[in-house]
């Protein structure tokens, strides 16, 4: 029987300063790139514009391809190889092109195709994919995506607040916010194109990370009830250690699936897979080093006052109070370590 | 023990239902045979593939208000939807979708089409047909000078050097067209138009054509003239009751290309609303044509009007472009014909089709096009299936390698998980998209999480010295709250995605939700039953390989 990380007792929380420094550094670098090069690289869906994926019989000369597209009157197009040497994407996303599509989204694609047919011949290439989006539709989609992100966070907050108490809920949601910010920084630093699919990946990362946090918090809640004399610090460390085996296994299988997507599912899904792979790492990190330290801080600032009094009154009273609070009460007398904070 | 039997029966029932839901069945659908769409029965797995997997086109259309405001958009869109649906039905597309989104948008999805450009024009062409008499009063010549002034005032100049008075060429053009048409006896326009050097935009570029009211413009000056004619101050100069419209095609004379411009009586003698039938045809003289039939009322009007205008030219105007302007030799009744000039037979077929289905009640513009070739779709499926197979394989290796016997139980549950998820997708008629496929691959990795949670818990209970039977029970019980919590949060974010995502991303949300539901069932119920069965068979084993 293989057992990884069973009965461990690492002091994970000890490293929270280092962890915080890493996160802050990463976010600062991400934000700095936002400051230097502007917003993220939005896809056609969000900005409007035209994207054509072309498959040539023979690998074309990129310079010729570029000059042909320019001769069609599309000045600011970006031409990149897409996977194989015979496949290229032409992306007209500049303001002039987008504005032109206000009158009809199909115009630019038609112009480019006509020019290419004249230059390369009719049977020499096929347009395997066209995406042309007018500016209005793009703006609407962008609004929808931002709304979806905010809404997911709010819904998670409400749900966690109902299932746990507000301290756990707030810690979990703040760590979700951390996940979004860090993932955005990652997207920006590695210049990944933000499409709807990538937004879907970010939302999946959110769900996955929330899941991870819930599992640790669930254990914390249980251990608070079980070991009432232990400090919250120790209880959290114990909970992380106890769930370590599960974490390793689940992240391994998820990462396996993600890597399968990354390497075998093709070019179209690559941005999605990269964000997802990063997301698995973020989920591990944030549930251990963001959510739990936050919980510790929140408890220190807003301790469970009434339960604290109960604790001083004695174990029997505390049991009563816990029973009265029912399943909703998140047990656990505040630890001795918290007491000074409580009386302050 | 009856409990276990009932559980097994329930699982077996679910497996049978799922298998039935996924079994290839005969459905009646439109299929393409020798280039023609026919209804036929085909056998296929009832999983719907999205446009990005099977190839096809997605169009979003909006009311085009750039020319004139539309009062009741919603109502006009309803009528437009009917017209488009009829056009598509005749065009022949397997399982098209035509939908109104909100109050101002139409979404058209055309799976499996191979000529996107043609499909686009069939959908979005207004097909507004008008018959207008060409002007014979030289109305244009009389206002040319004022047009020049208005254009100059509006700051529009010819972008090329044509305007620098290429008199010789202008004269050449005039005589060219004057010469080759004996019928153009009233072509007095020719005399008036030779341009004078350094004259204005209109004077120097507009030359008289072959028939009254027809003019030609060198292709280089077309852009400048077209934008001038779109300027309100220039339009105001055009005499009341008259209209200027461009011809549909280019003319070539020598190595110079021209566009035609027509001065027409603004009031059409009749419009396409009376049309009841239109057929493509090939005429030995005129090439490809569309012959049309009007209804009785339209025929009567047409006859009266054409009788009034005998020997004059009647322009056939489609979507504000003049197709032809033949001379009315005798009064015309219910039947007429539109000559397409150099158009192909296919163009004639498409024109007949859109005329039959009727004009769009409002002009529409395309705000979004997504077109995926069928080969790219198939490629995506192949790669997606490869990634799916690989991830399943990796998960199997990890689970069995780590949990041994219990791992095999989990893998068996996972196999059922894949089956159930696919069946739920088929059952709800969900559309499988590329991101959806990715979601499926991902959910295989995530689905084992529930099993892992349970197994780790069982291990802990065993470590605490509890019996195997008790450990299994406790393991499932204690893992429950974490599993449910995480499932709910995933479902909630999936629901948000479904609400705010479009096409492909919705597919992702649907597979994510279906996957979580299936994983709840397999982890909490199926795995549990397997454990119960195993405990029963071994009569409460002393050791569990986990």
The Cα–Cα gap between A277 and A151 comes to 23
Rank B89-93, B384-388, B426-430 by mean pLDDT and report only the highest.
Answer: B384-388
- The mean pLDDT value for B515-527 works out to 88
Judgement on whether residues A199 and A62 belong to the same structural domain of the protein: no
Judgement on whether residues A152 and A247 belong to the same structural domain of the protein: yes
Pick the closest to residue B124 from B434, B445, B364 (CA basis). Answer: B364
Judgement on whether residues A16 and A85 belong to the same structural domain of the protein: no
Nearest CA in chain B to A259: B391
Predicted local distance difference test score (pLDDT) of residue A97? 78
For the packed helices A196-226 and B434-463, what is the interaxial angle rounded to 10 degrees? 10
Residue A268 with chain B: CB contacts under 8 Å: 380, 434
Predicted confidence (pLDDT) per residue in A124-135, tens digit: 888 888 888 888
Judgement on whether residues A294 and A182 belong to the same structural domain of the protein: yes
Q: Which residues 220-279 in chain A show a CB within 8 A of chain B?
A: 222, 242-243, 245-246, 249-250, 252-258, 260-261, 264-266, 268-269, 272-273, 276
Mean pLDDT over all residues of chain B? 79
**Which of A136, A200, A245 lies at the smallest CB-CB distance from B497?**
A200
pLDDT at position B189 over 60: no
Strand ordering across the sheet containing B287-294:
B275-283, B287-294, B335-339
Nearest CA in chain B to A98: B367
The Cα–Cα gap between A43 and B382 comes to 25
Mark yes or no for CB contact A246/B375 under 8 Å: no
Predicted local distance difference test score (pLDDT) of residue A1? 56
Quote the minimal CA–CA distance from A169 to chain B in Å. Answer: 13
Domain for residue A22, yes or no? yes
Quote the minimal CA–CA distance from B383 to chain A in Å. Answer: 5
CA distance to A306, B119, B305, B450, per residue, from B368 (Å): 59, 14, 42, 41
Percent of chain A at pLDDT > 70 equals 86
Is the CATH code 3.30.1360.200 the one for domain B131-359? yes
Judgement on whether residues A53 and A176 belong to the same structural domain of the protein: no
ipTM here: 0.76
pLDDT at position B186 over 50: no
Judgement on whether residues A128 and A143 belong to the same structural domain of the protein: no
Report whether B431 contacts B50 (CB < 8 A).
Answer: yes
Domain for residue A43, yes or no? no
State the residue range of the domain holding A128. Answer: 49-133
Handedness of CA B204, B209, B211, B214 (dihedral sign): negative
Predicted confidence (pLDDT) per residue in B90-149, tens digit: 777 777 888 888 778 888 888 877 777 888 888 888 788 888 888 888 888 888 888 888
CA B512 to chain centre: 27
- Find the range with the poorest average confidence among A288-297, B157-166, B357-366: B157-166
- The dihedral region occupied by B287, where left means phi > 0, alpha psi between -120 and 50, and beta the remainder, is left
Report whether A124 contacts B371 (CB < 8 A).
Answer: no
Q: Name the DSSP letter for residue B370.
A: E
Touching check for B137 and chain A: CB below 8 Å? Answer: no
Q: Name the DSSP letter for residue B361.
A: S
Find tokens 């990362």 and name the residue: A205
Mark yes or no for CB contact A196/B494 under 8 Å: no
Q: Between vectors from CA B459 to CA B458 and to CA B462, what angle results, nearest 5°?
A: 85
With H, G, I as helix, E, B as strand and everything else as coil, classify residue B318.
strand
> What would the two tokens of residue A53 be?
């994926």
With H, G, I as helix, E, B as strand and everything else as coil, classify residue A52.
strand
pLDDT at position B37 over 70: no
Q: Counting Cβ atoms within 10 Å, is residue A64 exposed (0-12), middle (13-18) or buried (19+)?
A: exposed
Mark yes or no for CB contact A261/B116 under 8 Å: no
- Report the run of H or E that residue A276 belongs to, with start and end: helix A270-286
Judgement on whether residues A177 and A269 belong to the same structural domain of the protein: yes
Judgement on whether residues A288 and A180 belong to the same structural domain of the protein: yes
> What would the two tokens of residue B179 be?
């010469």
The Cα–Cα gap between B201 and B164 comes to 10
Mark yes or no for CB contact B390/A252 under 8 Å: no
Q: Between vectors from CA B475 to CA B469 and to CA B480, what angle results, nearest 5°?
A: 135
The Cα–Cα gap between B510 and B424 comes to 10
Percent of chain B at pLDDT > 70 equals 86
Predicted local distance difference test score (pLDDT) of residue A310? 41
Give the count of Cβ contacts less than 8 A between chain A and B. Answer: 227
Judgement on whether residues A160 and A244 belong to the same structural domain of the protein: yes
Touching check for A146 and chain B: CB below 8 Å? Answer: no
Mark yes or no for CB contact B489/A199 under 8 Å: no
- The mean pLDDT value for B237-257 works out to 83
Judgement on whether residues A269 and A292 belong to the same structural domain of the protein: yes
For the packed helices B503-521 and A196-226, what is the interaxial angle rounded to 10 degrees? 30
Residue B437 with chain A: CB contacts under 8 Å: 265
Report whether B174 contacts B258 (CB < 8 A).
Answer: no
Domain boundary among A133, A164, A182: A133
The pTM for the full model equals 0.74
Residue B446 with chain A: CB contacts under 8 Å: 208, 250, 253-254, 257
Touching check for B448 and chain A: CB below 8 Å? Answer: yes
CA distance to A28, A229, A290, A292, A293, per residue, from A17 (Å): 16, 26, 10, 13, 10
Domain boundary among A96, A111, A133: A133
Domain for residue A334, yes or no? no
Quote the minimal CA–CA distance from B482 to chain A in Å. Answer: 5
The Cα–Cα gap between A207 and A184 comes to 16
Domain for residue A341, yes or no? no
Touching check for B120 and chain A: CB below 8 Å? Answer: yes
Just give the CATH number of B2-25+373-537: 1.20.1640.10
Report whether B258 contacts B217 (CB < 8 A).
Answer: yes
Domain for residue A4, yes or no? no
> What would the two tokens of residue A322 be?
């816990």
Quote the minimal CA–CA distance from A197 to chain B in Å. Answer: 6
Predicted local distance difference test score (pLDDT) of residue A319? 41
Residue A278 — pLDDT band, cuts 50, 70, 90?
very high
Predicted local distance difference test score (pLDDT) of residue B33? 60
- Find the range with the poorest average confidence among A111-115, A125-129, A151-155: A151-155
Report the CATH number that the domain containing residue A29 is assigned in CATH: 1.20.1640.10
pLDDT at position B461 over 50: yes
Identify the CATH class of B56-125+360-372: alpha beta
CA distance to A198, A208, B102, per residue, from B493 (Å): 14, 10, 24
Judgement on whether residues A187 and A286 belong to the same structural domain of the protein: yes
Touching check for A296 and chain B: CB below 8 Å? Answer: no
Report whether B116 contacts B51 (CB < 8 A).
Answer: no
Touching check for A298 and chain B: CB below 8 Å? Answer: no
Domain for residue A277, yes or no? yes
Pick the closest to residue B471 from B480, B479, B481, B460 (CA basis). Answer: B460
Quote the minimal CA–CA distance from A159 to chain B in Å. Answer: 8
Q: Name the DSSP letter for residue B196.
A: P
Q: Which residues 72-91 in chain B show a CB within 8 A of chain A?
A: none
Domain for residue A42, yes or no? no
CA distance to B103, B274, B275, B277, per residue, from B297 (Å): 35, 7, 10, 14
**Which of A3, A197, A258 lies at the smallest CB-CB distance from B505?**
A197
pLDDT at position B184 over 60: no
Judgement on whether residues A99 and A203 belong to the same structural domain of the protein: no
- Ordered by start, the domain boundaries in chain B are 2-25+373-537, 56-125+360-372, 131-359
B510 Cβ contact list (under 8 Å, min separation 6): B425, B428, B430, B431, B436, B494, B498
- Find the range with the poorest average confidence among A330-334, B325-329, B335-339, B491-495: A330-334
> What would the two tokens of residue B446 be?
């995530």
Predicted local distance difference test score (pLDDT) of residue B160? 45
Domain for residue A209, yes or no? yes
Find tokens 């019980």 and name the residue: B477
Instruction: Indicate the number of domains in chain A.
Output: 2
């Amino acid at each position: 029987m293989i057992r990884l990380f069973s009965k461990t007792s690492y002091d994970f929380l000890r490293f929270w300063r280092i962890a915080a420094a890493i996160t802050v550094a990463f976010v600062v670098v991400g934000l700095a790139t936002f400051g230097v090069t502007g917003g993220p690289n939005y896809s056609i869906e969000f900005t409007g514009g035209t994207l054509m994926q072309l498959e040539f019989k023979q690998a074309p000369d990129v310079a010729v391809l570029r000059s042909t597209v320019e001769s069609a009157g599309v000045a600011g197009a970006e031409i990149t190889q897409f996977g194989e040497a015979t496949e290229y994407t032409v992306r007209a996303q500049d303001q002039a092109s987008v504005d032109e599509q206000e009158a009809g989204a199909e115009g630019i694609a038609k112009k480019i195709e006509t020019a290419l047919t004249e230059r390369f011949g009719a049977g020499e290439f096929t347009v395997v994919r066209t995406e042309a989006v007018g500016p209005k539709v793009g703006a609407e989609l962008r609004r929808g995506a931002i709304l979806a992100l905010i809404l997911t966070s709010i819904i998670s907050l409400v749900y966690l607040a109902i299932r746990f108490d507000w301290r756990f809920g707030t810690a979990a949601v703040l760590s979700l916010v951390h996940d979004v910010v860090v993932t955005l920084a990652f997207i920006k630093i590695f210049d990944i194109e933000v499409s709807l699919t990538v937004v879907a990946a970010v939302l999946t990362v959110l769900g996955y990370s929330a899941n991870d946090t819930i599992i640790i918090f669930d254990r914390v809640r249980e251990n608070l009830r079980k070991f009432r004399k232990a400090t919250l610090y120790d209880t959290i460390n114990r909970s992380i250690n106890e769930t370590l085996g599960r974490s390793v296994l689940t992240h391994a299988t998820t990462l396996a699936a993600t890597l399968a997507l990354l390497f075998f599912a093709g070019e179209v899904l690559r941005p999605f897979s990269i964000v997802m792979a990063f997301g698995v790492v973020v989920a591990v990190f944030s549930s251990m080093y963001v959510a739990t330290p936050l919980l510790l801080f929140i408890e220190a600032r807003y301790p469970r006052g009434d339960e604290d009094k109960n604790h001083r009154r004695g174990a029997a009273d505390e049991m009563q109070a816990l029973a009265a609070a029912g399943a909703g009460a998140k047990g656990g007398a505040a630890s001795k370590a918290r007491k000074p904070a409580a009386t302050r | 023990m009856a409990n276990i039997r009932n559980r097994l029966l329930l699982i077996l029932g679910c497996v049978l239902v799922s298998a039935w839901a996924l079994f290839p069945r005969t459905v009646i659908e439109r299929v393409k045979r020798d280039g023609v769409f026919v209804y036929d029965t085909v056998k296929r797995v009832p999983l719907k593939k999205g446009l990005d997997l099977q190839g096809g086109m997605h169009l979003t259309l909006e009311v085009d208000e750039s020319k004139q405001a539309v009062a009741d958009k919603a109502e006009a869109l309803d009528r437009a939807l009917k017209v488009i649906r009829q056009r598509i039905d005749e065009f022949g597309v397997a399982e098209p979708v035509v939908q109104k989104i909100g109050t101002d948008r139409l979404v058209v999805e055309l799976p499996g089409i191979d000529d996107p450009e043609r499909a686009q024009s069939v959908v979005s062409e207004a097909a507004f047909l008008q018959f207008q008499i060409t002007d014979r009063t030289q109305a244009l010549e009389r206002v040319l000078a004022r047009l020049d002034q208005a254009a100059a005032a509006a700051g529009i100049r010819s972008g090329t050097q044509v305007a620098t008075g290429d008199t010789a060429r202008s004269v050449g053009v005039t005589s060219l067209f004057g010469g080759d048409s004996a019928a153009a006896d009233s072509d007095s326009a020719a005399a008036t138009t030779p341009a004078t050097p350094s004259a204005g935009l209109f004077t120097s570029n507009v030359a008289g054509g072959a028939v009254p009211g027809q003019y030609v413009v060198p292709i280089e000056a077309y852009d400048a003239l077209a934008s001038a004619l779109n300027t309100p101050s220039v339009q105001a100069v055009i005499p009341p009751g008259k209209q200027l419209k461009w011809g549909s095609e280019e003319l070539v004379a020598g190595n110079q290309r021209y566009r035609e411009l027509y001065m027409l009586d603004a009031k059409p003698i009749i419009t396409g609303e009376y049309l009841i039938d239109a057929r493509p045809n090939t005429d030995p003289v005129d090439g490809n044509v569309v012959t049309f039939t009007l209804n009785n009322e339209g025929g009567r009007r047409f006859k009266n009007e054409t009788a009034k205008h005998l020997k004059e030219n009647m322009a056939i105007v489609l979507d504000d472009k003049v197709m032809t302007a033949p001379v009315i030799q005798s009064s015309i009744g219910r039947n007429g014909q539109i000559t397409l000039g150099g158009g192909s037979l296919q163009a004639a077929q498409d024109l007949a089709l859109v005329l039959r289905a009727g004009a769009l009640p409002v002009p529409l513009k395309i705000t979004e096009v997504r077109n995926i070739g069928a080969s790219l779709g198939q490629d995506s499926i192949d790669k997606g299936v490869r990634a799916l197979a690989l991830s399943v394989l990796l998960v199997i290796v990890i689970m069995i390698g780590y949990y041994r016997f219990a791992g095999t139980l989990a893998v068996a549950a996972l196999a059922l998980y894949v089956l159930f998820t696919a069946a739920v997708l088929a059952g709800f008629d969900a559309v499988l998209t590329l991101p959806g496929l990715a979601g499926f691959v991902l959910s295989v990795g995530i689905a084992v999480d529930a099993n892992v949670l349970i197994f780790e818990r069982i291990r802990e209970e065993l470590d605490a010295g509890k019996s195997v039977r008790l450990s299994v029970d406790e393991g499932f019980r204690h893992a429950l709250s974490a599993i449910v919590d995480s499932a709910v949060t995933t479902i909630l974010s999936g629901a948000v995605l479904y609400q705010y995502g479009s096409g492909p991303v919705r597919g992702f949300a649907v597979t994510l939700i279906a996957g979580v539901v299936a994983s709840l069932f397999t982890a909490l119920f199926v795995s549990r039953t397997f454990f119960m069965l195993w405990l029963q068979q071994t009569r409460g084993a002393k050791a569990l390989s986990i």
